[in-house]
Amino acid sequence: MLTLFKSNADRQARKVKVRRNPADRWAKTICGYCSTGCGIEVGVKDGRAVSVRGTKDHPVNQGKLCLKGIWEFEAINAPNRGTHPLMRDDPITPYRRVSWDAALTRTATEFRRIMGTYGRDALAVVSTGQIYTEEFYALGKLVRGGLGTNNYDGNTTLCMASAVSGYKRSFGSDGPPGCYDDFDATECLLAFGSNLVECHPVIYYRLKTALERRRFPVVVIDPRVTVFAQNADIHLAINPGTDLVLLNALAHVVLEERLANREYIENYTNGFDAFVETVTQYSPEYAEPITGIPASTIRNVARIYGRANAAMSIWTMGINQSVHGSDGVVAINNLALLTGNIGKPGGTSLSITGQCNAMGTREFSSCSGLPGYRQLENQEHRAEIAKYWGVDESFFPTKLGKTMTDIFPDIEAGKVKGLWLIATNPATSMPDTHRIAKSLSNLEFLVVQDVFENVDSAEYANVFLPAAMWAEKTGTFTNSERRVGLVRKAVEPPGEAKSDLEIFSAMAEKLEVGHLLPSPTSEVMFEELKTISKGRPCDYSGLSYDALEREGGIQWPAPTEEGSPRLYADGHFHTADRKARFIALEFHDINERPDDEYPFWLNTGRVIEHWHTRTKTGQIGNLNKFSPIPYVEMNSIDANQLGMTSLDSVRVISRRGEMTVIVQVTECVAPGMIFIPFHFAKGSNFMTLGLLDPYSRQPAYKQAAVKIEKFSVL
Ligand SMILES: Nc1nc2c(c(=O)[nH]1)N[C@H]1C(S)=C(S)[C@@H](COP(=O)(O)OP(=O)(O)OC[C@H]3O[C@@H](n4cnc5c(=O)[nH]c(N)nc54)[C@H](O)[C@@H]3O)O[C@H]1N2
Ligand SMILES: Nc1nc2c(c(=O)[nH]1)N[C@H]1C(S)=C(S)[C@@H](COP(=O)(O)OP(=O)(O)OC[C@H]3O[C@@H](n4cnc5c(=O)[nH]c(N)nc54)[C@H](O)[C@@H]3O)O[C@H]1N2
Ligand code: SF4
Ligand SMILES: [Mo]
């Protein structure tokens, strides 16, 4: 963190202030930032959110909150909240306030015109991981059952798509099999590409608490020396994008040293022989020059993992955001299957998800199929949902449409003409944002539905729809351990802002499919999705709002209020033969790599204070005081060589774009690598390339080649 105090008075003025505001009442919610799913109560006084506190004895956070949670009520009251619908004829004229009726009529008319003129798929809908499950379900019903475009996806393609794809390939269905309690039972933790301390601070607190009770080895695999890496027993500073090779080599050693669980493999898996054939080629000596990790260290880690009675892996974006994202996830699953570490306490392969409701969208949004983990390709699934919704089965596409990352090139190519963005800000968060700006400018019609009217993507829009935020509406989120939690409405939304659910229902009306969403309450939506979830992997049928509130959340599958801490405990998976699949994975190096002209690896990610594109945290004084501006982490060897020092302004340049940013000299990145937080607009995503994973279509945000020059105004 950089401090730039000019004087003592300046230091005083910038001091972080925590006000203790008295509240009249407290509303129970789940935090609206990350997927940890902390219980958080919003203090309300005179109808305003004035405070928050962690929910005492909550099963996830036991009253603890991180920096973002502590000031979350300030996001509700922040400036720039959208209070009225806005409209303009074209994106170069100023917006004017209009009525909801005018904004929705115009939107529905444009949607109909575009679909009528160019075909249904000329309209795209891109949503998020940050609205309630009930809202996702309603949007899916409207898009799949009313609009009929197959260009429907969410920002989860930027985030969790590789985990989803990997789980489906290995286990036949999405769904993280483990839970946070696994820290209390495990004998070995491998953490791949996760900055847990900054990105899921309360999961880290759970891990630390488990370690204080009982030591077990923690191995962190990350090119950077994060605080997590500093606190690990072993840090593997892996070469960017080579985790697959490391994982194959770990499996190689487990097999070589006879540490595999033959009984588990025999009873519950298939595909083993082909897998063995492939990993046989990946000796630690072969992996060493590719991964940068000494063969002896790989052997050591494989032995620790293989000999543990229960061993677990967690991972986040260092794995998912790679051209081998899906393969990386499958390789983590392979290692778990090889040692029988699935479905048992302390033995799991647990994807740490990202956004507060990245899980809810996977379960019920219909983005990647139909609700309840149903598939468009499956005739029975189409028939079930068509019947339940009262729509013609033939209205559904029979195969999955484009993902968010393929929709934008289609906009650029003129195939997609209209776009509805809901709670996502691609103008800043997509890779190669110069190209995204061009795509957004190419649209005939863009509608942005967001809680903040100054969101970057609204610069390109014709219509802005102001939405109610977390705690201004009731609904559920699912966290990383499949725990469904309830957010109670604490306060009224500002001005004329409406909940996303109300907006979807009003849109359905305007599109003359109002029968799909006749009574837009979260309770009604919850009952519908519960009904269709019965017997599905994400079974919600035993849940109720009262039970969720009472318990602080319940883990699906939940055919009763009991819920399930783990999946696959009986060794049965969601595949046709109920066995898990070993999948043989070859490594193909296709990244843009540093060369003479662009000699540095660019790595991007997060800091604890900020949330994504800063629409929320950028408006919160204390968080900005901690982390006011973007910076580039640079190793001292590189800084010396380039004649640069901390606080110098430099230009970081890739083949796609550049940014000017100040230097932070650190030993946390290796020579030849730099790290820039991606939160700031017109920042690191000007430079990223974002090659896509072939299975998940998730962008490789963490690997690009750049050069660095001193900034000069002359
Ligand atoms: N404070 C804060 N917390 C958040 C968020 C936020 O914006 N701010 N966002 C939430 C969301 S949506 C998400 S998805 C999560 C993301 O959570 P994380 O994935 O933990 O966060 P990142 O900083 O994106 O990246 C994690 C690490 O991956 C490493 N990495 C880069 N390349 C590689 C590689 O090739 N191999 C390996 N093994 N590691 C690599 C990076 O050095 C970095 O330390 O955080 C969630 N929590
Ligand atoms: N370089 C680089 N880029 C990255 C990443 C990276 O690691 N490196 N990570 C990627 C990942 S993992 C993710 S998840 C994406 C995130 O990328 P985005 O989805 O663009 O992230 P946010 O800034 O969270 O955008 C969410 C928007 O929803 C709005 N919002 C919040 N709550 C509500 C609500 O209830 N209703 C409505 N209608 N709007 C709401 C917020 O104001 C905000 O504008 O970024 C990706 N981009
Ligand atoms: S760890 Fe995540 S869920 Fe918990 S308070 Fe922080 S941002 Fe919210
Ligand atoms: Mo994410």
- Taking CA atoms only, the protein residue closest to ligand 1 atom 46 is 354
Look at strands 348-351 and 312-315 and give their pairing. Answer: parallel
* Residue 122: DSSP 8-state: G
Is there a domain that residue 10 lies in? no
Residues 199 and 115 in one domain: no
> Rounded to an integer, what distance in angstroms lies between the CA atom of residue 449 and that of residue 46?
28
Whether 268 contacts 353, CB under 8 Å: no
CA-wise closest residue to 244 among 567, 590, 672: 590
| Ligand 3 atom nearest to 32, measured from its CA | 8
| One domain for residues 259 and 247 | yes
In a domain, 485, yes or no: no
Q: Report the half-sphere exposure of 125 (CA within 13 A, side-chain side).
A: 23
User: What is the Cβ-side half-sphere exposure of residue 257, based on CA atoms within 13 angstroms?
Assistant: 20
Distances (CA, A) of 589 to 290, 332, 592: 10, 19, 9
Question: Which listed ligand is nearest to 681 at the C-alpha?
Answer: 2
Mean pLDDT of the chain: 96
Q: What pLDDT, on a 0 to 100 scale, did the predictor assign at position 520?
A: 84
Q: 465 has which bridge partners?
A: 449
Q: Are 446 and 421 in contact (CB under 8 A)?
A: yes
**639 alpha carbon – ligand 2 mean position (Å):** 32
pLDDT over 90, % of the chain = 95
Q: Domain range spanning residue 268?
A: 177-352
Give, in order, the Cα–Cα distances in Å from 504 to each of 99, 108, 510, 513, 576: 16, 11, 10, 11, 36
* DSSP states along 647-711: T-EEEEE-SS-EEEEEEEE-SSS-TTEEEEES-SSSSGGGT---PBPTTT--B-TT-EEEEEEE-
Based on the fold, state whether residues 204 and 263 are members of the same structural domain. yes
Shared-domain flag, residues 403 and 422: yes
The Å distance, Cα 450 to ligand 2 centre, comes to 11
Among the three residues 320, 352, 384, which one is the final residue of a domain in this structure? 352
Residue 678 falls within a domain, yes or no?
yes
Section 447-476 average pLDDT: 98
Å from CA of 81 to ligand 1 middle? 28
Three-class secondary structure of residue 72 per DSSP: helix
Q: Are residues 248 and 310 in the same domain?
A: yes
| Ligand 1 atom nearest to 679, measured from its CA | 7
- Answer whether residue 259 is part of any domain: yes
CATH code assigned at 209: 3.40.228.10
Position 17 confidence tier, pLDDT thresholds 50, 70, 90: low
Give the separation between CA 433 and CA 422, rounded to whole angstroms. 18
27-58 pLDDT tens trace? 999 999 999 999 999 999 999 999 999 999 99
Looking at the CA of 80, which ligand is closest?
A: 2
Q: Is the pLDDT of residue 2 over 60?
A: no
Residue 560 belongs to a domain: no
Q: Which residues line ligand 2 (CB under 6 A)?
A: 128, 130-131, 155, 158-159, 317, 321, 354-355, 422-426, 429, 449-452, 455, 467, 469-470, 500, 604-605, 611-613, 615-616, 678, 684-685, 688, 701
Contact 650, 632 (CB under 8 A): yes
- Quickly tell me which residue has 């109300």 as its tokens: 502
Confidence of residue 16 (pLDDT cuts 50, 70, 90): low
Mean pLDDT, rounded, for 516-543: 96
Q: Which two tokens stand for residue 407?
A: 């929709």
Residue keyed to tokens 């209209």: 418
Distances (CA, A) of 116 to 111, 123, 392: 8, 10, 19
Same domain, yes or no: 533 and 504: yes
Inside any domain, residue 138: yes
d(CA 690, ligand 4 centre) in Å: 14
Q: Residue whose CA is closest, atom 32 of ligand 2?
A: 469
Query: What angle is formed at CA 362 by the lines to CA 104 and CA 156, rounded to 5 degrees?
Result: 75
| Ligand 2 pocket test target in 107, 130, 434, 491 with most atoms within 8 Å of CB | 130
Residue 71 in domain: no
Q: Please name which ligand lies nearest the alpha carbon of 606.
A: 1
Let me know whether 370 and 344 are in one domain: no
Q: How far does the centroid of ligand 2 lie from the alpha carbon of residue 613, in Å? A: 6
Exposure class string for 574-605: b at 16+ Cβ within 10 A, else e: bbeeebbbbbbbebeeebbebeeebebbbbbb
SS3 419: strand
Q: Global pTM?
A: 0.96
Residue 1 has what pLDDT?
45
Residue 14 above 90 pLDDT? no
* Site residues for ligand 1, CB cut-off 6 Å: 34, 159, 192-195, 198-200, 221-224, 226, 238, 240-241, 243, 316-318, 322, 354-355, 603, 605-606, 608, 610-612, 702
**C-alpha R_g of the chain:** 25
CA-angle at 568, arms to 388 and 570, nearest 5°: 115
Q: Residue 505, SS3? A: helix
Q: Let me know if residue 474 belongs to a domain.
A: no
Amino acid making up residue 260: A
Are residues 127 and 226 located together in one domain of the fold?
no
For ligand 2, the distance from its centroid to the CA atom of residue 612, given in whole angstroms, is 5
Q: What are phi and psi of 393, to 5 degrees?
A: -55, -35
Verify that 346 and 400 share a domain, yes or no.
Answer: no
- For the chain, the domain total comes to 3
Ligand 1 centre from 158 Cα, in Å?
12
Q: Determine whether the shortest distance from the Cβ of 632 to ligand 3 is under 6 A.
A: no
CA-proximal residue: ligand 3, atom 6 (nearest): 66
Regarding whether 390 and 529 lie in a shared domain, the answer is yes
Decide whether any atom of ligand 3 lies within 6 Å of the 201 Cβ: yes
The alpha carbon of 194 and the centre of ligand 1 are apart by a number of angstroms equal to: 5
- Residues 151 and 297 occupy one common structural domain: no
- Are residues 183 and 259 located together in one domain of the fold? yes
| Residue 399: Cβ-neighbour burial (10 angstroms; 0-12, 13-18, 19+) | exposed
CA dist., res. 284 & res. 246, Å (int)? 8
Q: Which residue has a Cα nearest atom 2 of ligand 3?
A: 34
CATH number for the domain including 147?
3.40.50.740
Q: How confident is the model at residue 19 (pLDDT cuts 50, 70, 90)?
A: low
How far does residue 367's CA lie from ligand 1's centre (Å)? 23
Q: What is the pLDDT of residues 319-351, one digit of tens each?
A: 999 999 999 999 999 999 999 999 999 999 999
